[in-house]
A and B are shown apart, each in its own frame.
Chain A
Amino acid sequence: MSADVSGDEASKAGRWRDEEERGNSLVLRITLGLAWLAGRRVTRALLFVVSFYYALFAGSARRATRDFLRRVGEPTGFWRVQRQLFRFSEVALDAVYFLKGETGRFEFSRDGHEHLEALVREGKGALLLGGHIGSFYAMRAASADFEIPVYPLVHTANAKRINALFRAIAPEMAERVIEIDEGDMRFMLRVRELVEQGALVALLADRVPESGHVAEVDFLGGKALLPTGPYLLASTLRCPVFFTAGIYRAPNRYELHCEPFAERVVLKRGARQEAAREYAARYAERLEHYARSAPDNWFNFFQFWVAK
């Protein structure tokens, strides 16, 4: 009986995902159309209105954002929350231009770019750790004058979304997306081959997987759960790790940061979990640094902290 219920619910959840998928692809097409036909200024104005409604009606995103803002000492009023959502939509819109290679309309400042250049020059592979802060796609702009072979490693749900975006604007990029599929270990062997061949595999290290390795770490005055998988992976691959963030400064500037995170991730035998937790804590410390430096770039719109 209980199996029937859960089966039913699973198929219901499946339908919801399909609905969401359809909805997303419609929104994607409309946004793309606008980005081309109406241009960035008009589309931004429209996104301003959309984020106004979103701030009004998306209660859980609003509450989660207020919690974050309080922790970084920002005002938490309605318009401040709206701005957070607006920034998120602006960064999503700009991703379209980045993927098209239309970087001329933006200003970029770079900090630590020499690390990426050195890796490419020496043909050394590495892991790049990002987060839901600023723009993941601004990295693409970073490779405008330097072909940097970045391969995003993403969970299935995100893979669908990113693939749809890539296929629509930059089909050659779609082949680079590596989907995490615990039912088929081949993706992991592909990661290994790529890193051995000198590719940079990028992953977002601030969202915990449905099942897998996690650790509780200090973050902005509370406790948050972070994945430790990235550090287990880095230790297995024996490759260097970098922290990256593409911070958006409205109206049209991006700061691209790349910091050495670990030359080698070493997890001591017998104390692997604790050692991996320490790396996650170090990641949290860097994420906190950028969250404080650019609070309006924080794009985790769900309850990020562990309730006490």
Chain B
Amino acid sequence: MQDLETRLKALIVEALMLEDVKPEEIESEAPLFVEGLGLDSIDALELAIAIDKEFGVRIKPDDERTREVFASVRSLAAFLHEELASARSVG
């Protein structure tokens, strides 16, 4: 989980081209969107595409969990953890 959070922070900075933010400066529980880092819906989409590429996990619009997924790095990591685990058990 800790590892996922670290990878996510690096991915956020890389995919969203955040020039003045370092990955280690992003707090795991801080809100990512609107407040906090001040990201918007287009950033969310960019991030979703990057997550798809990096982890092979697709965040779906009709999934009820998706509403909360983008809240923070922690919630994203928890979601990814779940998805990766279920992918492993199926595979």
Q: Judging by beta carbons under 8 Å apart, are B61 and A233 in contact?
A: no
Nearest B residue (CB) for A269: B17
Stretch at the interface among B2-10, B42-50, B78-86: B42-50
Partner of A186, one of B33, B49, B67: B67
B57 to chain A, nearest CB (A): 13
Whether A69 sits at the interface, judged by CB under 8 Å, is no
Residue of B nearest to A234 (CB): B42
A307 interface contact, C-beta 8 A: no
Residues of chain B with a CB closer than 8 A to A193's CB: 60-61
A-B contact count (CB 8 A): 57
In the complex, A183 Cα to B67 Cα: how many Å? 9
> Which chain A positions have C-beta within 8 A of B48?
185, 188-189, 192
Say how far B31's CB is from chain A's closest CB, in angstroms.
11
**CB of A25 within 8 Å of the partner chain:** no
B17 A236 Cβ-Cβ under 8 A:
no
Q: Is the CB of A186 within 8 A of B66?
A: yes
Does A212 lie at the interface of the complex (its beta carbon under 8 Å from any beta carbon of B)?
yes
Q: Across the two chains, which residue of chain B brings its CB closest to A272?
A: B17
Cβ B42 vs Cβ A188 within 8 A: yes
Q: Report if A180-B45 is in contact (Cβ < 8 Å); known contacts: A185-B66, A269-B17.
A: no
Q: How near does chain A come to B1, taking the closest CB pair, in angstroms?
A: 22
Complex contacts, A188 vs chain B, CB 8 Å: 41-42, 44-45, 48
Interface string of A259-271 (1 = CB under 8 A from B): 0000000000110
Residue pair A187, B17 in contact (C-beta under 8 Å) = no
- Whether A236 touches B67, Cβ cut-off 8 Å, given contacts A183-B34, A187-B61, A272-B17, is no
- In whole Å, how far is B32's beta carbon from the nearest beta carbon of chain A? 10
Q: Collect the chain A residues with CB atoms within 8 Å of residue B60's CB.
A: 189, 193
Q: Are B61 and A189 in touch, CB under 8 angstroms?
A: yes
- In the complex, which residues of chain A have a beta carbon less than 8 angstroms from the beta carbon of B44? 185, 188-189
**Whole-angstrom distance between the alpha carbons of A237 and B46 in the complex?**
8
Question: Which residue on chain B has the smallest CB distance to residue A186?
Answer: B61
Contact of A187 among B19, B33, B41 (CB under 8 A): B41
- CB pair B33 A182 closer than 8 Å: yes
Q: Return the CB mask of B14-51 against A: 1 if under 8 Å, else 0.
A: 00010100000000000001100000111011101100
Contacts of A182 in B (CB 8 A): 33-34, 40-41
Q: How far is the CA of A278 from the CA of B34 in the complex (A)?
A: 26
- Residues in B with CB closer than 8 Å to A241 are none
Task: Check if A149 is an interface residue, CB within 8 A of chain B.
Answer: no
At the interface, yes or no: A258 with Cβ under 8 Å from chain B? no
Q: At the interface, yes or no: A184 with Cβ under 8 Å from chain B?
A: yes
**Interface digits, A163-184 against B, CB 8 Å rule (1 contact, 0 not)?**
0000000000000000011111
Task: Give residues in B with beta carbon < 8 Å to A.
Answer: 17, 19, 33-34, 40-42, 44-46, 48-49, 59-62, 66-67, 70
5 A-B Cβ contacts within 8 A? Answer: A182-B33, A184-B67, A186-B67, A188-B41, A189-B66
Besides A212-B40, A272-B17, 20 more A-B contacts (Cβ < 8 Å) are A180-B41, A182-B33, A182-B40, A185-B33, A185-B41, A185-B44, A185-B45, A185-B66, A186-B61, A186-B67, A187-B61, A188-B42, A188-B44, A189-B44, A189-B45, A189-B59, A189-B61, A192-B48, A193-B60, A270-B17
